[in-house]
Amino acid sequence: MDDVVVGSPLIAFCWPKIMSNRINRFRMVRPFDVLIFIDNDRKKCEILRKVLNELDDGTSKYYVIYGDVNQKINEVIDKAELESSGAHYLLFIDPFADLDLQLYWDNLNKLLNYGGDVIVNLHSPTLARGIESAKQEKVRQFLGGDGYNFFMQAREGGTPIEEATRLAYKEAFHKAGRNKVLEFPVETMQGKVLYYLLFATRQTASNSRWLDNYINWARNKIGRYSARDLKIIWGIVKGEQKTILGKREMQRKINEFTK
């Protein structure tokens, strides 16, 4: 397949502007004040920097940082201006098998000390394999003390390693003050979980259910569509479905997916 699918950096960079320009109820959506991208692959950083420079219309503020995120965490705090009054961030992390390449909990906790929310793309099967093969001290670095203790207790109680990994990561966020941690399993058509999305935030004083409502909306939205539906929608976006679907049917599917 020759399709090019944009990843999370370009979604974060472009999507708020696209949504506000094309969908009425998102007219007031603001793009991020500043975006910070970190990767320890120099070539990827160079490519991303070039792409963002091409897409930038002069209104975006962004940094592409090459290096180990654990060594760059103070630079992130500085560039995101988290010391400023009223600063708030959205952190997206994608932990996977090699624990040597992950954001260690002590450094993640430096960010959690400031006001912000976290989205984790948690591929627990792959991550569990990495934890299983790593030394205990490396696992402790990754999960933090509370997460590691929870993980060990769960394993001693017979909890499968994939589930123990996921639950331990959630517990670590709870202990770090993100008392609202919701998970959203992304499944195959056969019901097998591919990965989990975790949303970690602080519960509001009024006990608002906005995050629960959003998770339920997303779960129901994705659950309604078969692989065939998504393929058709992708074809519409690419302009390949015009001869297969009538204009009214095309518009109906787009409206359903974006409402």
Distance (Å, rounded) from C-alpha 23 to C-alpha 109?
36
Per-residue pLDDT, 59: 81
pLDDT computed for residue 243 by the predictor = 46
Residue carrying structure tokens 């003390």:
145
Q: Could you read off the pLDDT of 193-211 as tens digits, one per residue?
A: 778 889 999 877 777 777 7
Token readout for 220 is 């129901």
Please say which residue of 18, 34, 67 terminates a domain: 67
Residue 38 sits in the same domain as residue 124: no
**pLDDT grade, residue 248 (50/70/90)?**
low
Report the range out of 146-150, 183-187, 196-200, 226-230 with the highest average pLDDT.
146-150
Same domain, 137 and 205: yes
Of the chain, the percentage scoring pLDDT greater than 70 comes to 76
Q: Give the residue among 22, 23, 30, 27 at the shortest CA–CA distance from 259.
A: 23
pLDDT number for residue 69: 93
Are 92 and 157 contained in the same domain? yes
Rounded to the nearest integer, the mean pLDDT of the chain is 82
- The residue assigned the tokens 């692959």 is 41
Answer yes or no: do 233 and 216 share one domain.
Answer: no
The answer to whether residue 244 sits within a structural domain is yes
Looking at the fold, whether 214 and 232 belong to one and the same domain comes out as no
> pLDDT for 13-67, tens place per residue?
887 777 666 666 667 777 888 999 999 999 999 999 999 998 888 888 999 999 9
Dist CA 257 CA 251 (whole Å): 10
Mean pLDDT value of segment 249-256: 58
Residues 55 and 96 in one domain: no
Q: List, in sequence order, the alpha helices (H) in the chain.
A: 8-22, 42-55, 69-79, 105-112, 124-133, 136-156, 161-175, 210-223, 227-238, 247-258
pLDDT at 193: 78
Looking at residue 80, what is its pLDDT?
92
Residue 75 located in a structural domain: no
Which pLDDT score, from 0 to 100, does residue 62 have? Answer: 94
Clarify whether residues 200 and 233 are in a common domain. Answer: no
pLDDT above 50 (res 92): yes
Domain that holds residue 192: 88-224
Mean pLDDT (whole number) for 122-130: 88
Name the more confident of 176 and 220. Answer: 176
Q: What's the pLDDT score for residue 64?
A: 96
Q: What pLDDT is attached to residue 109?
A: 94
